[in-house]
Every structure is written in C-alpha cells, then in structure tokens.
Amino acid sequence: MALPTTWSLLALCLLASTATAQLQPSIRQRQDRRAALPATPSEPIPEVYVASGNTTLVAFNGPLDRDSLILDRTRFRWVDVGDHTLILEPITDLSPSERLILQVGFKDKALPSKAVLAVLSKVDVMDAKVEVDRRANTPEALLAALTQKETRLQGLEGTARVPSWSPGARDPGRTRGAPPPPAGDGAQGPGSPQAEGGGTLPERAVGAVLQCLPADGDGAARPG
C-alpha cells in the first residue's frame, strides 16, 4: 500500500510546481539590435519594443529636430529627445493590438527627412537599445522623395487648371465691358414724333390746314 501513496505524492508535487510556474510572470529578454528606415514606401516601418518599468534608447545616425516629435505622450512616463537619441519609458505595457506611431524629423536636408517608427510591447522581449540607420541620400530614398514631389505637383496642377473662356462668347457683337449706345444720339424709336413723314407733330398739323385753303392765281392764299 505504500507504493501508490508515493506515486500520489509525486503527482501532487508536479501539479503544484506547474501551477506555480504558470502564476509567475514571464521575464522579458532585454536586447540590443539594429534597424533601418525604409528606402521605399512599400517597405514596413521599423518597430520598437517597450516595456513598463524599463527604458528604451533609440539612437539615430542623423541630427534630430527636438521640436518635431509626434507621439502620444500620455502613454509614457518618460520621453526625452536628444541630438541623436530618443528615450522612451511607457507607463504600462501596450496591449497586443496597440501600435503607437512615432514620428520625428531630422535637422539637415538629407533624405529621408523624418523617421517613422511603430512602438509596441511584446511578452517575451523588449528593446534596451535600437540603433536606427537612416540610410541618408541612398538612390532609393532620393527616388521615393522625387516620386512624392511629382505626385504633389500633379495634384497642384489639377487644381489650378482653369477652363478656356472667350470674353465675347456670350455677346459676339459687343466687346466685354463696352457700354450700350445712348438712347438720345439721334436714333428715333417707332413711337417718337418724327418717326413718320418728317417734322414734328405741330408742324405737320399746320401744313395740313394750309393745304385745305383755296389759292389765287399767284399762289397766295385768300383770307377766309
């Protein structure tokens, strides 16, 4: 009867050790690694793995513009931008579905002009230091910048294009802006007194009366 009791105790010990291991939080491995900014828009952006209670140093091989940082600072306990470095410490771990986008610009005129990174948390690993290679002025970076400028220029040309229009399209007989001819320049309308027969209306009435009077031989009219 002692043998089954021994096996039972061993089984209980194994179950207890397994439960204890499951309750213990997993320990993240700290790592130092290198990353590179994408040379073309089709390449994925680099990722930075952060963890609560730990700082992550991101080093760049280009001078940073400290005032150009775009990041949700409410999620971080410490955010510090240096001349070539960026230090991050989150307040809590980010959820598995969270990806915070970080953007920071460079001071010089080389390309790419800014760095875009994705900040997230992993259960098994965190970044102690990430060295980011800018790959400044590579042929791929220059071509990508040229493509973006051409696309922007085409959009501006499309919005600035105006349809052709002729000033005299609506009134071919007149020049745009010329005033109409004045009404009193000698032209007579159909209702004016001199429109028919010539002379004013009183003059034509007197002439009609004189034509009705009889005339003598020398052409003088006799008084009535």
CA 92, CA 102: separation in Å to the nearest integer?
17
35 touches 127 (CB < 8 A): no
The pLDDT tens digits for 22-41 are 444 568 999 999 999 998 88
Burial class (CB in 10 A: 0-12, 13-18, 19+), 1: exposed
Residue 9 has a pLDDT of: 63
Strongest mean pLDDT among 32-41, 134-143, 211-220: 32-41
Determine phi and psi for 36, rounding to 5 degrees.
Answer: -135, 140
Which one has a higher pLDDT value, 27 or 10? 27
**Was domain 25-155 assigned CATH 3.40.50?**
no
DSSP state of 217: T
Tell me the three state secondary structure of residue 88.
strand
65 touches 59 (CB < 8 A): no
Average pLDDT on 126-152 reads 85
Residue 109 has a pLDDT of: 87
The pLDDT tens digits for 44-99 are 999 999 999 999 999 999 999 999 999 999 999 999 999 999 999 999 999 999 99
- Lowest-confidence range among 64-73, 142-151, 159-168, 214-223? 214-223
Instruction: Supply the mean pLDDT for the chain.
Output: 77
Per 3-state DSSP, the chain is made up of helix, strand and coil in percentages (nearest 5) of: 30, 25, 50
Residue 193 has a pLDDT of: 47
- Say if residue 220's pLDDT is above 70: no
Residue 1 has a pLDDT of: 46
- Say if residue 164's pLDDT is above 50: yes
Residue 179 has a pLDDT of: 60
The pLDDT tens digits for 113-123 are 999 999 999 99
- Say if residue 197's pLDDT is above 80: no
Residue 21 has a pLDDT of: 45
Which one has a higher pLDDT value, 126 or 18? 126
Q: CB 168: neighbour CB atoms within 10 A?
A: 10
